[in-house]
Amino acid sequence: MDYALIIEKFVLVVILFLISLGIAAYSTYFERKLAAWIQDRVGPDRAGPFGILQPIADGVKMFLKEDFTPKNSDKWLFIIGPGIAMFTALITSAIIPWGPDITLFGRTISLQVTDFNVGVLYMFGVVSIGVYGIMIGGWASNNKYSLFGAIRASSQMISYELAMGISLITIVMMSGSLSLTDIVHKQHGMDWNIWYQPLAFLVFFICSLAETNRAPFDLPECESELIGGYHTEYSSMKLGLFLFSEYVAMFISSALMAILFFGGYNFPGMDAFSGNLLALLCVVVFFAKIFFFIFVIMWIRWTIPRFRFDQLMHLGWKTLIPIAIINMLITGVVIAFNEGWF
C-alpha cells in the first residue's frame, strides 16, 4: 500500500475543498460588487477594506439564523436536499486536471484527484444527480412555490442536458477520448478547441448557464413569481448550502468550459518553461481562465432579463438541440473525411 499516495491525494482533496468553498464565498462578494458597479453603485464596502470580509460576515450570519423546519415538511428529505446539492457541486472537482504534474520531495504528483478515463461521463452523471438536490428540497418543503421551483428546475435541466451532451460529443469525437486529461493534452499551446468548435462552445455555454440556474435561466428561483423558488422554506445554513452550491457549480462549470474549449491550463509559449515553474504558471493561467468565465457569467446575469418559461423550452428544444445535432453531424463528416473514409 502506497501511503504517500493516500496522503498526497488527501491533501489535494482538502485543498480543492477549501479552494472551491473559498472561491464560492468570494464569488458572492464579487457578484454583489459587480451588480453594484453595473448599477452605478458602490456595493458592500463596510466589512474590512473594500468590504473584503463581507463573505465571512455573511457566513456568520447564516449560521446564527434560526434553523426553521416547516411543520408539514418531510423532515429527512428537507435536510437531505441541500446536502445533495452541495455534495454534487463539490465532487465534480475530482476529475478536473488543475495543472501538469509537479515534482515534490522526489515524487511526481499529479494535480488531479483522479484521472478518470470516462471523466466526461462522470461529470454528466454528477450534474444529473445535482437536480435531485433541488427537486427533493422543493418537494420536501410542502409549499406550492417550492414545488413550482423544483419542477421548473428539473424540466429545465433535463431539456438543457441534451443539447449540452450533444455539443460535448463533438469535443469527444475530436479528442478521441472521454478523459479530461487527454482532452487538455490535445489542446497544447494555442491549439484550443474553441477555434474548431465555436458553435459547440456557444451551445455549451448557454446550456451551462441553464444547468447552474444562472440568469437569464434562473426560473427555478425567480423572486417575482415564486418568492424564492425551491428554497422558499429554507433558512439558516440549509439555505446557505443551496446558495453556496450554486456558486460552487458556477466555479466548476467555468472550469469545465476552460478545459473543454479554452485549452485548460495550456497557454501560448508554454514550451519555454518546464518543471514546477511550468506547473505553477499553468495553474495560474487556468485559474485566470476560470475567473474570466465567472466574470462573464455574472456580467450576463446583470445585463439580460429572465426568460419566460415557454421561451426557455423553445430555446432548448427547438434551437439549441438542432444546432448541436447539425454541428455534431458536420464534425463527424469532417473527421471521417480527414481519416480518409471517403
Partner 1 sequence: MESLSNRKKVVSDKPMTFVERLYLPAIIRGMMVTLKHMLKRRKTIKYPEEQRVFAPVYRGMHVLKRDEEGRENCTACGLCAVACPAEAITMIAEERKKGEEHLYREEKYAETYEINMLRCIFCGLCEEACPKEAIFLTDRIVPTEYERGEFIYGKDMLVEKVDQRIDITKRQGTGKRGKI
- Residues forming contacts to partner 1 in the complex (CB under 8 A) are 34, 37-42, 45, 299-300, 302-304
Instruction: Look at the alpha carbons of 263, 264, 269, 273 in this order and tell me if their dihedral is positive or negative.
Output: negative
Closest CA to 104 of 274, 265, 281, 275: 275
State the burial class of residue 311 (Cβ atoms within 10 Å of its Cβ: 0-12, 13-18, 19+): exposed
The answer to whether the bond into 70 is cis (omega within 30° of 0) is no
* Least distance in angstroms from the C-beta of 261 to partner 1: 17
Contact 222, 306 (CB under 8 A): yes
Q: Name the residue nearer to partner 1 (CB basis): 114 or 303.
A: 303
CB atoms within 10 A of CB 255: 25
Q: Name the residue nearer to partner 1 (CB basis): 52 or 158.
A: 52
Q: Name the residue nearer to partner 1 (CB basis): 188 or 314.
A: 314
User: What cell was used for 208?
Assistant: 451551462
* Least distance in angstroms from the C-beta of 45 to partner 1: 8
Contact 200, 167 (CB under 8 A): yes
* Least distance in angstroms from the C-beta of 42 to partner 1: 5
Contact 171, 119 (CB under 8 A): no
* Least distance in angstroms from the C-beta of 219 to partner 1: 17
| DSSP one-letter code for 97 | -
CA distances from 211 to 96, 117, 163, 206 (A): 18, 24, 11, 9
* Least distance in angstroms from the C-beta of 326 to partner 1: 15
Strand 107-111 to 99-104 pairing: antiparallel
User: What cell was used for 147?
Assistant: 414545488
Q: What share of the chain is helix, strand, coil (3-state, %, to 5)?
A: 70, 5, 25
Q: Name the residue nearer to partner 1 (CB basis): 34 or 294.
A: 34
Q: Name the residue nearer to partner 1 (CB basis): 137 or 216.
A: 216
* Least distance in angstroms from the C-beta of 309 to partner 1: 17
- 245, HSE (Cβ side, Cα atoms, 13 Å): 26
Q: Name the residue nearer to partner 1 (CB basis): 148 or 307.
A: 307
Those residues with Cβ within 8 angstroms of residue 252's Cβ, 6 or more apart along the chain or in another chain: 20, 89, 92, 93, 96
Q: Name the residue nearer to partner 1 (CB basis): 196 or 302.
A: 302
Coil/strand/helix, residue 46: coil
* Least distance in angstroms from the C-beta of 182 to partner 1: 32
* Least distance in angstroms from the C-beta of 302 to partner 1: 6
* Least distance in angstroms from the C-beta of 299 to partner 1: 6
Q: In angstroms, how far apart are the furthest CA atoms of the chain?
A: 68
Q: Name the residue nearer to partner 1 (CB basis): 202 or 335.
A: 202
Q: Name the residue nearer to partner 1 (CB basis): 37 or 76.
A: 37
